[in-house]
Amino acid sequence: MAQTSISLFICSNCNKKITNGFKYSFNGKAVCLDCYLKLTNQQTQESEQQKLKVNEEDPQKKELYDYIKKLFKITDIPSDVISFIEREIKYNRMKYSGIKYAIYYTYELLEQSKDIMFLTYNLQRKYEEAKLFYQQRKDVNSKNDQFEFKETNTTVVVTREALDKKTKKKPKYSIEDL
């Protein structure tokens, strides 16, 4: 609760003249107590509605947020993380599935420490790294699929003479050496 001194002021929301009481600050505007409570209540309701929208919308979005909750062992994703992800999708043309794979790459494959704020600071870079990693993996898999192993049967014929020649070794010394 942002309170300032007792003074005479006009509420910027309802335009009431307040002669005694505290002046509250909401988004840089001076408001009375009643308006402050209404505005903060509206803000919490909007954030709850935003959480509900996460569950109702795109299945990939729901899958991403469920994965984040499971990975970080949290029940609610912080609103700043949700807004960051939405901003990245809108302005940087990322995809929900791509972000999920980038998170998987970062925390499961690279085994980074599980800090949700690390995600917001490094998502762009890790998204590109994961994209490159999965592209290389796809190329290797396609090369492996193209390779055909052909088993060839060869018959080796061994004659007794060939074996006798190899087994009868001539001594490396001469009679004169004795």
Residue 152's pLDDT is what?
83
DSSP 43-98: HHHHHHHHHHHHHHS-HHHHHHHHHHHHHHT-SS--HHHHHHHHHHHHHS---HHH
Residue 46's pLDDT is what?
66
Alpha-carbon distance of 24 to 36, in angstroms, equals 7
Global pTM exceeds 0.95? no
Mean pLDDT computed over 80-107: 84
Q: Picking from 47-61, 76-90, 117-131, 141-155, which range would have the lowest pLDDT averaged per residue?
A: 47-61
Alpha-carbon distance of 65 to 119, in angstroms, equals 13
Alpha-carbon distance of 47 to 54, in angstroms, equals 11
Tokens of 75: 């029940």
Alpha-carbon distance of 144 to 133, in angstroms, equals 17
Residue 7's pLDDT is what?
56
Phi, psi of 110 (to 5 degrees): -85, -15
Give 23 or 139, the one with higher predicted confidence.
Answer: 139
Mean pLDDT computed over 39-67: 71
Mean pLDDT computed over 17-25: 72
Residue 47's pLDDT is what?
64
Residue 176's pLDDT is what?
75
- The burial of 167, by beta-carbon neighbours within 10 Å (0-12 exposed, 13-18 middle, 19 or more buried), is given as exposed
CB atoms under 10 Å from CB of 130, counted, come to: 21
pLDDT tops 60 at residue 67: yes
Alpha-carbon distance of 79 to 47, in angstroms, equals 7
Tokens of 113: 């420490």
Residue 2's pLDDT is what?
53
pLDDT tops 70 at residue 15: yes
Which residues fall within 8 angstroms of residue 40, CB to CB, at 6 or more apart? 26
Alpha-carbon distance of 113 to 107, in angstroms, equals 7
Check if the beta carbon of residue 125 is closer than 8 Å to that of residue 92.
no
